[in-house]
Amino acid sequence: MSAFNTLDDLTPGQRVLVRIDLNSPVEDGEVQDNNRFDRYSETVRELADDDHRVVVMAHQGRPGRDTFVSLEQHAEILSEHVGKPVEFVADTFGDDAQEAIESLEAGEILMLENTRMTDDELPEKSPEEHAESEFVQTLAPLFDAYVNDAYSVAHRAHASTVGFPLALPAYAGRVMQTEYDYNTGVAEKAQEADGQVTMVVGGNKSKDVIGVIDNLGHVVDNFLLGGLPGQLFRRAQGHPIGYDVGDMDLLDDQYEETEETIKDILDEKSDQLELPVDFAYKGEDGERAEIALDDIESKEMEYFDIGHDTIDKYTPIIRESEAIFVKGAVGVFEDDRFGDGTKELLRAIGETDCLSVVGGGDTARSITKYGLDEDDYDHISIAGGAYLNALTGQELVAAQVLIDQADR
């Protein structure tokens, strides 16, 4: 039995406010379709099919970032996935939003503007305080029920995730239900496995994943590093790699923030760490070229993937593991030249008969991109930070509010 009230408990034909998470990569202002649209569209379609008037809330980026854009494109992409029109109103909770909500008919879907465009959304406050905000107090009376499906942002105590469930009867959507049920306790399940537990650690948010090495050190036997963390660990050992080159600004700041932790991990957990021994870069002809770590002499080169010697070093460890977690891609797989590391490690995981959990919104996308079979993995999570919180046993505040409301 689920810890939540779910869509199965919702009487058809109501006015439903549903929070999903379509936070996506944005390239040159263009929102990139990805498997979050596909997964969250299931809940939206189910609600529309049940003749609810469906109003969708979601966010994109954060104020001040290039990815902080309107949800107009999201509504179009979501509509393709749901297979029904998704109207869009460029307003979060003002007159235009209220008018559009009130004119909805049964089975119709409306998307409101980026929740992070209202000042009430982002402050980290208690659910009780958020429930008192103008945002929640204005919108809640227009609805009969609130559905939170946004598992991938359930680690954030924002008005749209923790305020509304106190103001309306609250239910969990299908993604929230599945991801919560699977990810919670999976680390313990891995610990109970007889053999080796391995974690592939990549991506470009080093701070989060490096924290995980610290937190999961007692569960995981081998950490296979790639992506930014792989470069930063090599930098900490004194190699001329992991530095910002040209106008890039990804590495130096993150290194400063994590240097101390990285050095502690290198001191205390070196037996559990596997670091890249070669890297891929853009050769003179623009094609993929590789260089061994020991041959790197200048800091002036940008690297986009682990090399094939590293792949050959990591895959036997994967094949001998009983449980594998993936957090983040080991290379810039979106570019075909630099997808080898991510693809080959995922292929080895898929071929290995072990408990396999792949997380990180973007990483999940690489499975589809490289034609790997989703069924070869036990669970593919579309969440990043929330997945890490679940693995490390930290509370997912928005999921907890739903559970508390269901208990009442």
Choose the binding region for ligand 3PG from 148-156, 182-190, 250-258, 308-316 (rule: CB under 6 A): 148-156
CB of 359 to ligand 3PG, least distance (A): 10
- Residue of 5, 23, 92, 183 that binds ligand 3PG (CB under 6 A): 23
Angle (CA) 34-338-80 rounded to 5° is 15
Tokens 């990180």 correspond to 360
Q: CA-to-CA distance for 93 and 218, rounded, in angstroms?
A: 46
Q: DSSP state, 71?
A: S
CB of 87 to ligand 3PG, least distance (A): 23
Looking at the DSSP bridge assignments, the partners of residue 199 are 223, 325
Q: What share of the chain is helix, strand, coil (3-state, %, to 5)?
A: 45, 15, 40
Which residues between 334 and 393 bind ligand 3PG (CB under 6 A)?
361, 384-385
Choose the binding region for ligand 3PG from 45-53, 149-157, 268-276, 393-401 (rule: CB under 6 A): 149-157
Positive or negative: CA dihedral 23, 83, 171, 382: negative
Q: Is 254 in the site for ligand 3PG (CB under 6 A)?
A: no
Please identify the residue of the shown chain whose CB is closest to the bound ligand 3PG. Answer: 23
Q: Is 153 in the site for ligand 3PG (CB under 6 A)?
A: yes
Q: CA-to-CA distance for 241 and 303, rounded, in angstroms?
A: 8
- x/- binding map, residues 25-64, to ligand 3PG, per CB under 6 A? -------------------------------------x--
Q: Is 156 in the site for ligand 3PG (CB under 6 A)?
A: yes
> What is the number of alpha carbons within 13 Å of residue 389 lying toward its C-beta?
19
Judged by CB, which is closer to ligand 3PG: 242, or 385?
A: 385
Choose the binding region for ligand 3PG from 151-159, 166-174, 178-186, 227-235 (rule: CB under 6 A): 151-159
Q: How far is CA 35 from the centre of its chain?
A: 11
* Site size for ligand 3PG (CB under 6 A): 9
Judged by CB, which is closer to ligand 3PG: 23, or 114?
A: 23
Q: CA-to-CA distance for 87 and 68, rounded, in angstroms?
A: 20
Helix axes 35-49, 174-183, angle to 10 degrees: 130
Question: Residues in the site for ligand 3PG, rule: CB under 6 A?
Answer: 21, 23, 62, 152-153, 156, 361, 384-385
